[in-house]
Each structure stands twice: as C-alpha cells, then as structure tokens.
Amino acid sequence: MPHVPDSSIQAWVAKAENTGLFTGEGFSENVLQHSAVKSLLYPLSVQKNNQAVYALLKMNGQNIMGIFGNKHTGVGFEGTERNISPDLYAFFCPLTHKNAVLIRKTLPFTAPSLIAGTKATIGLGDRLGIAGPGHIRMVRGHSAAPVLAQQSIRETDLTQRTYEDVLDSSTWAVFQEGYTGPWGADGDHIKTEERVRKILKVGFTMITADVSDHLKNEISVMTETEILNVYKGLDEDYRKRIEKKYLPVELELDIGESIAFSNLDLARISLTYKEAIEHAERLYNAAVDEKGEDAFDFELSVDESSAPTSPQAHLFIANEICEANIKVSSVAPRFVGEFQKAIDYIGDLDAFKRSFRTHAALARYFGYKISVHSGSDKFSVFPVIGELSRGRFHIKTSGTNWLEAVKVIARKDPGLYRELHRKALLTFDRATKYYHVTTNIKKVPDLSTLRDGQLHELFNNPDARQLIHITYGEILSDPLFKERFFYSIEKHIEEYWKSLEAHVGRHLDLLGV
C-alpha cells in the first residue's frame, strides 16, 4: 500500500489550520474559495456525508483523499489517522484500489451507472488515466452523458493497465470534480464470456460485444451460385424460420423508406451474421448470469466487418437479437466510407448521409441508440450524425484524448516530443498490426525542418496524427519514456484538461448536444 509520509501530513495540517479549515466555518463555501485553501485541496471535491467531510487533497505533489469526522469515520479505509482536535479526527488515504471501492459505496455518485436511457452519450477513452477531469469539465457544458471509463482489451494490453485501474481513475476524477451526473464504464470490444464476467465483476456497467471473429466475411466475395449452395447447407428448420419471417416482409421506416429482402439478400446476410448473432447471445447471457437482467448496458458491435452494413443486414441483426431476447442499448454498424483513427471521415459525404439516415431510422424503430465507433475527430460528419439520429446516439472516442496529451508535450517539452516522435517512426510498422490505417509516412514532415515552436502544428497533419496515435503502446511500454512522459504531462495537467475541454467539446458542439 502506498504510504503517506508523516512529514507531508504534518505540513499539510499546519497549513490547513492557518487557513481556518478546521474552525467552525471549516469546509464552508466561503472558506473553500480562499486561494490558500485551493492550494490544499480541490474545492469541488468536498462532500459532506453522515457528519463526515470527504475531500481530495493536494499533498506534496500528489493527490490524497482526506476524511474528516469522528474517530470512526475512516474505519475500513487504508490510510493514516490523525487527531486534529478533541472532536475532530482526520484520515489521510492514498488513492488505492481498496479505497476506490469503498468511496464508490460511500459516495454513490463516484460509481458508474446505467446510461442507456440517456438520449446522447459519448465514450471518452482515457489511455493515460489522467484525462477524466478535463472530460468532466467538457460535458458539464453539454447534454451528453459521459462514459468516462472506456477501454478495450487491446488498449489495456498495450498500456499495461488493468480494468480496476481504469475504473478507479474515473472514480477519482469524478470525486475531484464533484460530478454527480450519470456516467458509464464500458468494457469495449469484449469477445469472450470469461472477459464479460470479469469486467462486470470489477464494476463496469456496460459491455460492448465484439462479434467480429464470428462474422463470415468470406461470403461477400462469393458468387450468387456459391452463396445459394452454401445456404442450402444450413439447418432446414432455421432456413424455414427466417424465410417465413423475412421474405414476405417489407418494413416501412419513419423516413418514408422501406426495406425488403430478396432470396439472395437473405442467404448472404444469414450466412454472414448467423454465428456472430449466436455469439452475441452467449456474451449477453454471460452478462445476465453475472449481473442479472437489466443490470447492465449492452452494445452490439459489427463495425469491424469487411464491408459496410446494408439496411437489410441491420434489419436482420436487429430482428434476430430480439428473437434471442438480447436487450441492446446500442448497435454499431459499419458505415460507408472510412472511420480511421483520430482523423476526419474519409469518403463521400452524401453517400454517408443517405446510409446513416436509414441506419438511424432502424435504430429508432427497434428502440436503441445508433453507435459510432472510431468517432474521434470526425468533424465533417458530426452535424449529420446529430441531425439524422435526432440527437439519440452513442459515439466513441479514445485516440484523440491521447493525442491532445502528446500535443501538450510538443508545446511544453519539445525535446521529449522529438524523442517520442523518433520512437514512433521506428516502431510504426510493428504498431500497424493492431490498427487499420492508410498512413503515408512520407507525408509526415521531417522534424529537422521544424522549429520547436512549430511541433504542435504536426497535429494538423492526418499522417502525423496517425503515426503518433497507433504507436501509443510502443511509447508507453518503454519504462523510461513512460516515466518521462507522465512527469512532463503532470507538470502541465491543467493545460491538458483545458485542451480536452475545447477539443472534445468541439465534437459535441457539432453533434448538437
């Protein structure tokens, strides 16, 4: 357990006594606004509960939870006890996992909740575990609910983090900012039943089921004759059921369009998605076994297929998950065009608008949100998404939050950035096995041609953005780079939070929420 040094506690208590924090007016609004008090704690974190006061303290360069009350107030928490006066005891608690678990029980707003009922939601992947305060300040000016804890297995593996750490980081950010609104915790792109159970056991409230390994993408390149022949090999009862259900059906949507199936459509789509839907059912049932019905949000992701999701495929998927009694809060199709990491949309905007309009109408018909993955920096399509979804959507971001941190490094610590950039160039090829990008390294300016004051301009270059984006694992897995990176960004943490507030806030501005 991390230890809070006695000398640090003594120095903090002495300063606090001089500010009047422990007097009759202690922790009042007037006292908390004093600059001397703000140097000792985060005023928004102060919470009063059962005759005790909880606050996030600033102590010798690190954050510590303080609990103030009677001698029983801090029972169960890890930390150091101090008797401040005959009637006042203080407990100085490091930000450990055990303390995070306890504070979630003591102050329920610091625990994630279900957000499926919220009209607009945004996933805010935080690979560094320090972006939360910036994200919270950003959403306070908008009507979208945040998913503050959102990480995929790929991300946790590459950053060498645990799901406990991801959730705890969000809890402490919520505590620091005194954020009492709803927020979610999403185990992103989860593929196995074992992982579903583990993540829900940790305390996550949302599962994004990734069934991409069970999609039969090879069907898309077969001839009509080949598809129909393979289709005949499916179970006869299954074929009879879906033919009865889909071939006579023409679904009218609220946008004046209708969707119908040909024999070939049904054969192709059922062959492509049948096993994926069966796996989604297994993942969903694992979640029900762990948490119970209606105790979690469940998103189905089919966005990593080899071809865009057709309206017929979306309708088939939605109907079949209803048939399997899977209650989804959102579905992520693969849209036309390309949603590459941390750069704007690539493709025909009119084609996207036509396609998205239909997908959003299908989501409305079935009662779930349309979900957009790789949503970082898709500024050209955000107005379309906001308008055509009628403000009901879930959008996922992650890479842009990492890039904003590196951009701060480029501005404030150019020497470190130059080393980091060279590391990214050396490891780029290895990193491409994790992400699909079309980066042209030759279009990334040579650092020798740039002055220190120009380095931040690299983040206006799509190829440079993707270079830095996909190599985060290579950079953060190097112990020396990781230590220097965190040392530098912590020195400029307020600037980082302000940059997130502005940059990610622009996402929600354009989405109209």
Q: Judge contact between 298 and 287, C-beta under 8 A.
A: yes
The one catalytic residue in 126, 186, 188, 404 is: 188
Determine whether 224 is an active site residue: no
User: Is the Cβ–Cβ distance between 335 and 314 less than 8 Å?
Assistant: no
Q: Where are the alpha helices (DSSP H) in 346-478?
A: 349-366, 382-388, 399-412, 414-431, 462-470, 472-476
Neighbours of 5 (CB within 10 A): 12
Contact 431, 470 (CB under 8 A): yes
Which residue do the tokens 């001089």 mark? 18
Q: If you search the block for the tokens 């006869």, which residue do you land on?
A: 236
Q: Let me know if 188 is a catalytic residue.
A: yes
- Counting beta carbons within 10 angstroms of the beta carbon of residue 3, is it exposed (0 to 12), middle (13 to 18) or buried (19 or more)? exposed
| Beta strand 80-85 pairing with 88-93 | antiparallel
Let me know: does 353 contact 388? Beta carbons within 8 Å: yes
Which DSSP category does 41 fall into? Answer: B
Neighbours of 198 (CB within 10 A): 15
Q: Looking at 78, 186, 210, 299, which residue is catalytic?
A: 299
State which H helix or E strand residue 145 sits in.
strand 145-152
**Amino acid sitting at position 42:** Y
Taking the mean position of all CA atoms in its chain, how far away is CA 52? 33
Among 374, 381, 365, smallest CA distance to 398 is for 374
Which residues are catalytically annotated?
188, 299
